[in-house]
Every structure is written in C-alpha cells, then in structure tokens.
Amino acid sequence: MDVEDTSASPLSRRRFLQAGATATALVTIGTPAEAAEASPATTLSLTAATGGSATLSPSGDTLVAEVQNVLWSVPRTGGTAVALTPPGLEPTRPQYSPDGSRLVVCAYRGGGFHLWTLRPDGSDLRQLTDGPWDDRGPAWSPDGTRIAFASERGGDTVTGSPYRIWVVDVRTGALTRLTGRDGAWEDFDPTWSSDGERVLFVRATVTATGALRASTVASVAADGSGPVTTEHTDDSGAQVMTPAVSPSGRLAYLRTTASPAASCTLVVAGEPVAVEGDVLPAPPRWADRERLLLNVDGHFRLLDPAAPAAGEQIPFTASMPVRRPHYRGKKYDFEGAGTRPVRALHLPALSPDGHSVAFAALNALWIADTENGRAPRKILQVPPTRYVLASTWTPDGDALLYADDRDGLFSVRRRELDSGAETVLAEGGRVFPALSPDGRRLACLDMSGNLVVRDLPDGAEEVLAAPLGGGGIPGRPSWSPDGRYVALCDRNRLNQRFREGYNLIRVVDTTTKTAVLHALAPHTSLSDRYDSGPVWSPDGRWMAVIAESALWLLPVRADGTPDGEPRRLTTESADHPSWSGDSRTLLYLSAGKLRLIDIESGTARTVRVPLDYRRPTPADTVVHAGRFWDGTGDEVREDVDVVVRDGRIAEVSAHRGERPAARHVDASGRTVLPGLWDAHTHPWQSTYGGRQCALQLAYGITTAVSLGGFAYEQARIREAVAAGVLAGPRLLATGELLDGARVAYSMGRAHGTREGLHRTLARAAALDWDLVKTYVRAPGWMMKEAADFAHERLGVRSGSHLCTPGVQLGQDLTTHLQATQRLEFGHATSAGGRAYQDVEEIYTKAGFHLVATPFTAFPLLGSDPALAEDPRVTTLMPPWDVVLVRQQAAHPPTAPQLATLDREFAIYRRILAGGGLVALGTDQPIVPIGLHLHLALRALHRAGLSPAEALRTATVLPARVYGADADLGTLEEGKLADLTVVDGDPFSDFDSLVRTVAVLRGGVHFEQSALVDAFEQVSYAGDWHEVSRQLRRDGCCDPTSGHLSRTLDSD
C-alpha cells in the first residue's frame, strides 16, 4: 500500500493553542521564596547500561550506545565513553547508517517520539519526522536512502491510531505507509531484508480482552506493494520483539515472558539461543554474517549464536555529570496553632438562581451566599469514619443531591433544604449524581465507573455505558436540557501498545443506548476526568470544560455535537465549573477561590466564603511501653514511658508510677515504635470513602504520602484530618499527575502548553502541595519546570517514574523502581527484573532517592492466609478488596513468584547498603490498603534486613526522603508524637508487626478496635470480582506481572 502521509500537523490546532498562549503574561505562579542553587556537578561513573541499546559502526571500530538517556561513543576495544547528546534529547535505539556517516535514533524531545539523525561525533543533529503522532523503532535500509519505522500517524484523535509501518526518504523527507490501517493489530519494530526488497516487522494481534499477542514476524514489500506475508510464527506463548536479519538472511529476534516467570530470550533461525546471562530487551544488531551485538547483564556483548558462551564484551566507563539542586526545604507546620482559613472548597455547585453555592469542606456539606460574603451554613456533618461527596442541585433549587458512605458503600441521597428531610435515591456504591431536567431520572456512576441511569418513579436501573478504559472512573455526568443525552468525560486508548489516550467528551443517548466521542480540539485532552466537564448549559447551547487548566466554552448542538470552535473564558487556573439556571453565569474554582464569570462580558468576580478551622489540641498522654524502639538505631528499650504534651514528645524515660496526664495508654505488654509511613498512596475517596483513611490507621500508618490524586480533594482530606473531623493519617499531598497531552489515569492532568502547566502550578502554590510529580508523557521541559517550581516556590520534592532523565533534570526521586515508562522498556530493570551498576550508581551517588512499591510482595499473603480473616479485612475493607485478599490468601506463593520477589528485594538491599535512601510505599489502593505495607515489610526482612533495618524504610527514611525528618520518623523528645502500638514483639517475631492495635498521630489516639467497630460486616450484593478487576485495569505498575492479575483471573 503506497499512501502519502496526511496526518494532521500540530498547526491544525493553532487557534486552540494560540488562545491558551495569550494567557502567558497573565498567569503568575509566584515569586520563588528561595531560589534553587545549582550545586557542583556530581559525576556518576556508569559501567553498565540497564535497558540500553547500541550499534556498531560498519567499520567495526566504534560502538555507539544509549546509556541512561544519553548517547555515548565507545572505542571498539572498550574504554572511556564520550557523550554525544544532551539528556533533553532522550534518544533511544541508535543505528548506524550503512556507510557509517550518520546515526538514526528515536527521541522524545518536546513531548513526542520522532526520528532524528546525527553524525557519529554528535554534531549536525536533524529532526527527520514531526507532528502529533509517535514515530518509533527506526531501521536504515541497506542502501542508506530510507528509514523504516513504526508510527501512529494517519490515525484519529477520537477513533485511535494503531501502529503501522512507514518509510521516510532520508533526502527528501517524503513519507510512505507500507502496511494498511484497517485491522485489529499493531505493527512495530521494523527491520530490512538483506537485499532491501522487503521490510520485516512484528505484527501483534489484539485479543478479545484488548491484550496484544505478538507471535508473528511479517514482511511487506519495501515499496508497499503486494500483501503482507508471514515470515515466522513463534508458538512458545512468549511475546516477540525486535527482529533483525543477518547479511546471510538469518532471522533473529527477542521474545519475552511476563512475571512471575519473566524472561528475555534470543531466538535465531527459530531456535532459542542459550546465552549465558540476563538478555535485556534491546534490539539485537548483526555486526557481521555470524555475530550479534546484544545487551547481556547490562553489558554490550558480541556473540556468535552458534557458540554463545564465547561472547566478547565491550567494556566502557561513562562519566555522567548531574547537578543536584540546593534549595531551602519547606518548613512543615503540622500543628498549626490558631485558626486557619479553609483552602479546599470541594466540588462547588452553583444554585439555579445563582444566589447560592453548595460545596464540601471539613467532611461536611455547606451552602454559601454568592453575594453577601457571610459565613456559610453547614447542612450536614458526617462522622469521622465516613466521607461525603459534594452535592448537586435539583433543577428547581429546592434540594441537594449528594453521596455518602454511612451505609458502608456510597449511596445517593436527596436532602430537602427547607425541612432537612432525606430520601435515598440509589445505593450499593453510587457516586456523582445528576438529576434529569424533569426530575424523574438519576444519572450516576457505580464503583466500576459504569454510567447508570435510574428511573426514580419505578426504581428501574440500567447501565448505559461502561468506561472506555481503566485508571479511574470517568467524570461526572451532565444532562442535556431535553433529558435525552448524558455527557461525561472519558478516555480513549489510541492503540494497544501503550495505554495513553485523550480525555474526550462522551455523549450517551439514553434512548438508543449509543454513545459518541468528541474532542475539544485535535490532540487535546480535557484537563482530567474528575470534574473538568463537560457541563451542559441549561439552555443547551454550550458545554463548559476545563482544558490546559483554563475554563472554555464549547458551542454544541442539541445532541452534544460540537458546533464551532471552543472559546477560552479565563486566563487564570480553573476547576469544577457549574452553571446558573439562566446559562449566563459560570462558577469555578481558581487557585482556591470561588469565582463567578459572566460568559458574555468575561467579567469575573470572587465569591468570598469565610470558613475557618482549628486543629483540636490533643490530650496530654503517657504511653507505657513494654518494649520501645525510637527509630534512631537498633536498640530496643524495655519498660519505657513516652510522655506527650501538646502533641509532641516531651520526655522518653524509664517507667515510673502514675505520671499526671489526661490519658494513659497501657502498652506494657506491647511494643511501641515510630508511626508507620506509606510513602506512595493515592487518595481514592470517591470510591473508598472513609474506609481508606480508617484502614491506614488500623494498620499502624500515621503518615501517608499521596503521589497523585485530585488537588482539591487532597487539600480537603488534609484539612479534615487536621481539624479532627476525618479519622485518618497525616497526608502529605500532591496534586494530579502532571502529564503531557495524552493521559492514562483519571487523576492525570493533561498539558500541551507551558501556559497550561503554569496555571496548574498556580493551584499547587495556592493549595500548598507537599510534592510535585510528573508522569509518563510529560516531556523533559515539563519535568524540569515542575521540579524548579517545586524547589523554588514550594521547597518540596519533585519526582516521576523515570530515573533518567529525572536525575538529569533536577528531580529528587522516582516513585517506583520500575513502573510504566514511555519507552518500550525503561532504564531501571531488565525484562527479568534485574538492575545493574548504572541504576545503583544513580540511587547511591547522586542524592537521588527511591520510593519502592514492591507489588511482588503480594503473594506472601498466601503464606499467612489467616490475614484474610482479620476484621480489618472482613469489616473495614470494601467488598471488592475482600474478594481480592481472600483469593490471594488461598494461593501459596509459587517458586517463580518468590524468585521474582528475591530479585527485586536484592536491588533494594544493595541500594541501602550503598548509602541510598529507600522509602517504602505501596501504591494503594491498587493493592490492599494497609495490609500490603506489612507484606512488603515482611519481604524486606525475608531479603535479609534486620527488623530495625526493615522498619527504617517505613519510618525514618521516608521522613528524610520527603524532608519531614525534623518532626517525624523517630520517637525523640521534641518530635511529633506519631507512634504505633504492636501487640507483639517484631524484633523477635517480625510477623507480629501486623498486629497494630493503636496509634497516636500527633498525640491524637486511635484504637484499631474502635475503627473496626465503626463499620458493620455486611455482605453487599454485587459482582465485586469484576469491580476489583475494573478498578485495577490499565494499572501503571508491572501490568503483566501475574501477581495481581493472576489473582483477579483466578476462580
């Protein structure tokens, strides 16, 4: 098939982006409180290349290798590597041209994968392809005139863009597509036949479940004529990648298997080759007729497949300078004496008459007047173990609809404002209610994210639309004025190779049960899938949406079809829009303030809402500890009193008599240790409700770090916990995952412009984030600007999934060892789960930290199945997690699972031994809340860490990693009284650590039994197995690991 490229260029959205760009001068992200100073460069000495790929010059005298995000030139005999490219290029998969005059790479500079060429000395860098679609896996033709590659180009923002094989003419830049677009498959990893007549590639079919099955190497004529033919089929059940054809025509490729039996194997002429060592998933390159260049054990090796044991290694030493920022860290005010203004007015909703606004704050519902600036009126306060989701108005303005979990799962309730009378409209896990204009039908979402419509007079309920993908439930539904259509935000998936897509407007016809997707503009996402619209105007002419963190109006027809170009209403940041009944005014949040804007004049004003809170003073307490570990060393003391005054530790000394205190905690037969941290969590209160906070306390967690969630909700949780109206751990909050234009998670914040990023960061300053995290598609410039803002404006850490370029761009940490990467495989571990010297060097020599999230520990639950019958599981966990835990507990860990666990934890142990900081997190609620932290701690102890060494990863080390060690992490005089009481002695029986019976958080006392007793053990009707599967669908981390997926697929 010979088709010229007709892809839309970035200029096709020029008007949209220009409208956003006009905001540049008007967006203020704050003056740095203390500018970050670049420290002297630290030179990292890299002698291995985890995930690196390489190419040998045609003359055979020079190796060019990609090592940790930089191209390096190495003499063929080995030795000192010379850097050829800056980190910002992010090159991968280099290949020499046949005449040796140039190199081609795939690079991510600017936020998309494209082809670039350069000379072998690094000069004359040229971009060969561009546009909004990704181009990957370049391969030179034997005559050097063309480059084959895999590309999404020719696709569609809405309907998707599967990978197909393309060729670019190196001299003219002309593009030709070789494989056709129609069909449920993905074509990738092209290579050329030795005569240049055909292009070979992997063709992966898409199964009924949406998974890829890559077992075929196919080929097509180099001019695109004729059919695609099958060259080889691998029947091993593994995934085929990176084929390469030798000058004599022999086919080599790699095949990988998933965890827990993860592997990468070289196959030549259809037979696996017994390579000694760990083959990494980097393209094999034929160096001559007999030998292949591979990455084995992180080293580049030439070997003859006929005699693989006699391979020849090309050693190198690459000196990579990194400059770590020096900045004044945030001074946490955890106690907060006095009265504080509420910053988090959550999910505000404007009344139909425009005179009132309803919102949630401090775990309560409130109504404020939009005109007089008087204190708002509280209309509902839920208990500290429950959670209330903000309300919407009935069309007549006489009542509010809201959801809370007082019955264990979220129910939708109607509350009459005049009488306070309430009616349950939907139950069993229903959120985000929207009443139809005639008041007869209720649209809402269930716990799987299905759009459900209930006929209120007869109670009939129907699922109208399942979510398009995973990664969180879709956005709030909104009715058309005629009551026929429901609009909401959902995410497509552009192809099956990578999970990202665009946040789109989805319009569901309640009559025909069909749905249509619309993009705000080409290659543009709504900001997130929480409450960024679409919100239909009552007159039906507009949808209000948030994109690039600004408020926009999209003209629409009666059926929701866009009827013109979007119009930007604000230059300032915006969130959570809602309409007045006359469709003339919109309410939105901007950097913590409520704003009303007239849509015709553009005039905006602030709605003043005077609402304050005060932290309650904790009772003076004496804890009598039978055994006491303060976290500073290995010593465990006996018979100790911990005296707490005003929430801080006033004294630690030998037990004596009855010390005066308002409260005495008798732990004389128990062990007291610093409050546990979970260093990687995600607040999902819109599904878990109050359970998530209560579960963490019940498992001994006193500090949780959010590494991604909805900004205003996190601020709301933090304030509610501080005010004593929500029973939960201390929360260090970040905002959404700062991403590029494409996103995966509902909590990913999409950006295509710097102006959009600046507006998002303005929210970060107003809401006082404790960390700034960028995500998988965030380009290098975004990673750097976010890190600079985190340091200079907030004084907090910045991190991402990417060790490189993260460490090179000024970030402080990675939020996993290995998680979703933008490359096919990342730079942290091999396909077999091993990390090499370069990774250890980054985490031990650069002041760059690791937050570990060991999913491989989950099978340990099967070694102690009694954990599944703990009341914290059977009563406190929601039913979908009870199902998950019980299923895993029924399966003892297999030998492959334990081997995978051992490999991962050996990496953590080496990093710790080398002086690196490893903070233990879980990524809950992807894994069972609270329980998984204890499984991970058991795995650390199993890996050879002493009880104190293991506990430090969940106490003092996370406090240091997040810059909170002046107040937290150890039990020393003057520090906050965060402590955990264990009914056992984890220093002689480490498994007893899970028996956490009480905690103090800043001196506030919580008993596990009271937290459990606040909930009833109820058997809820529903397919909770399917809910669990959907909630974990498209997860970020080791998505084919077999640890969670095996459990979900069992039974």
What single letter denotes the amino acid at residue 839? V
Q: Quick count: other Cβ atoms within 10 Å of Cβ 318?
A: 23
Q: Can you give the pLDDT at residue 337?
A: 79
Report how far residue 200's alpha carbon sits from residue 188's, in angstroms, rounded to the nearest whole number.
9
User: Which residue pairs from 843-847 have beta carbons closer than 8 angstroms and sit at least 24 positions apart in sequence?
Assistant: 843/803, 843/911, 843/914, 843/916, 843/918, 844/911, 844/914, 844/915, 844/916, 845/42, 845/44, 845/914, 846/42, 846/44, 846/322, 846/324, 846/807, 847/42, 847/324
Q: Can you give the pLDDT at residue 335?
A: 81
- Whether residues 460 and 567 fall in one domain: yes
Q: Which residues are bridge partners to 216 per DSSP?
A: 203, 233
Q: Can you give the pLDDT at residue 1020?
A: 82
Classify residue 770: in a domain, yes or no.
Answer: no
Report how far residue 759's alpha carbon sits from residue 550's, in angstroms, rounded to the nearest whole number.
7
- Give burial (CB, 10 Å; 0-12/13-18/19+) of 267: buried
Q: Quick count: other Cβ atoms within 10 Å of Cβ 598?
A: 14
Domain boundary among 266, 291, 322: 322
Residues whose CB falls within 8 Å of the CB of residue 869, separated by 6 or more in sequence, listed in order: none
- Whether residues 318 and 360 fall in one domain: no
Residues whose CB falls within 8 Å of the CB of residue 320, separated by 6 or more in sequence, listed in order: 43, 44, 45, 46, 67, 68, 70, 83, 808
Q: Can you give the pLDDT at residue 181?
A: 73
Tally of domains within the chain: 2
Q: Can you give the pLDDT at residue 658?
A: 82
Classify residue 846: in a domain, yes or no.
Answer: no
Q: Can you give the pLDDT at residue 407?
A: 94
Q: Can you give the pLDDT at residue 38?
A: 57
Classify residue 438: in a domain, yes or no.
Answer: yes
Report how far residue 988's alpha carbon sits from residue 778's, in angstroms, rounded to the nearest whole number.
46
Half-sphere exposure of 326 (CA within 13 A, CB side): 6
What single letter denotes the amino acid at residue 973? E
Classify residue 674: in a domain, yes or no.
Answer: no
- Whether residues 109 and 160 fall in one domain: yes
- Whether residues 173 and 213 fall in one domain: yes
Phi and psi at 851, nearest 5°, equal -100, 110
* pTM score over 0.75: yes
- Whether residues 389 and 264 fall in one domain: no
Report how far residue 702's alpha carbon sits from residue 192's, in angstroms, rounded to the nearest whole number.
58
- Whether residues 467 and 572 fall in one domain: yes
Q: Can you give the pLDDT at residue 1036?
A: 64
User: If you count DSSP H runs as helices and E runs as strands, how many of each does the chain have, helices first?
Assistant: 17, 73
Q: Can you give the pLDDT at residue 336?
A: 75
Q: Are the C-beta atoms of 345 and 361 separated by less than 8 Å? A: yes
Integer-rounded Cα radius of gyration of the chain: 29
- Whether residues 395 and 522 fall in one domain: yes
Q: Quick count: other Cβ atoms within 10 Å of Cβ 557?
A: 11
For the chain of 1051 residues, list the mean pLDDT of each consecutive stretch of 10: 34 40 36 52 96 97 98 98 96 98 97 97 98 98 98 94 97 96 91 98 91 96 95 97 97 95 96 97 96 98 94 97 93 88 96 98 98 95 96 96 97 97 96 97 96 97 94 95 98 94 98 98 96 97 98 98 98 98 98 97 97 95 98 98 97 93 97 99 96 98 98 97 98 96 95 97 97 97 98 98 96 94 91 97 97 97 98 97 96 96 98 98 97 99 98 99 98 98 98 99 98 91 86 63 37 31
- Whether residues 371 and 506 fall in one domain: yes
Classify residue 253: in a domain, yes or no.
Answer: yes
Which residue, 578, 570, 777, 695, is CA-closest to 1011?
695
Q: Are the C-beta atoms of 401 and 392 separated by less than 8 Å? A: yes
Phi and psi at 243, nearest 5°, equal -70, 155
Classify residue 394: in a domain, yes or no.
Answer: yes
Q: Can you give the pLDDT at residue 1015?
A: 95
Q: Which helix (H) or strand (E) holds 389?
A: strand 388-393
- DSSP conformation class of 470: -
Domain boundary among 611, 636, 663: 611
Which residue, 158, 166, 159, is CA-closest to 199?
166
Report how far residue 845's alpha carbon sits from residue 847's, in angstroms, rounded to the nearest whole number.
6
Q: Are the C-beta atoms of 559 and 504 separated by less than 8 Å? A: no
- Whether residues 292 and 359 fall in one domain: no
Q: Are the C-beta atoms of 128 and 116 separated by less than 8 Å? A: yes
| 3-class DSSP assignment, residue 946 | coil
- Whether residues 364 and 314 fall in one domain: no
Q: Can you give the pLDDT at residue 35?
A: 46
Report how far residue 472's alpha carbon sits from residue 469's, in angstroms, rounded to the nearest whole number.
8
Task: Provide the CATH number for the domain around residue 466.
Answer: 2.120.10.30
Strand 299-304's sheet: what is its strand order? 285-286, 292-296, 299-304, 307-314
Which residue, 907, 334, 362, is CA-closest to 646?
334
Q: Can you give the pLDDT at residue 1019?
A: 83
Classify residue 80: in a domain, yes or no.
Answer: yes
Phi and psi at 89, nearest 5°, equal -75, -35
Structural domain boundaries enclosing 405? 344-611
| 3-class DSSP assignment, residue 960 | helix
Distance of CA 567 to the CA centre of its chain: 30
Q: Quick count: other Cβ atoms within 10 Å of Cβ 312?
A: 12
Classify residue 286: in a domain, yes or no.
Answer: yes
Q: What is the dihedral of CA 280, 281, 286, 290, to 10 degrees?
A: 50
Domain boundary among 611, 643, 663: 611
- Whether residues 367 and 506 fall in one domain: yes
- Whether residues 108 and 172 fall in one domain: yes
Distances (CA, A) of 873 to 434, 448, 549, 855, 865: 33, 20, 39, 19, 12
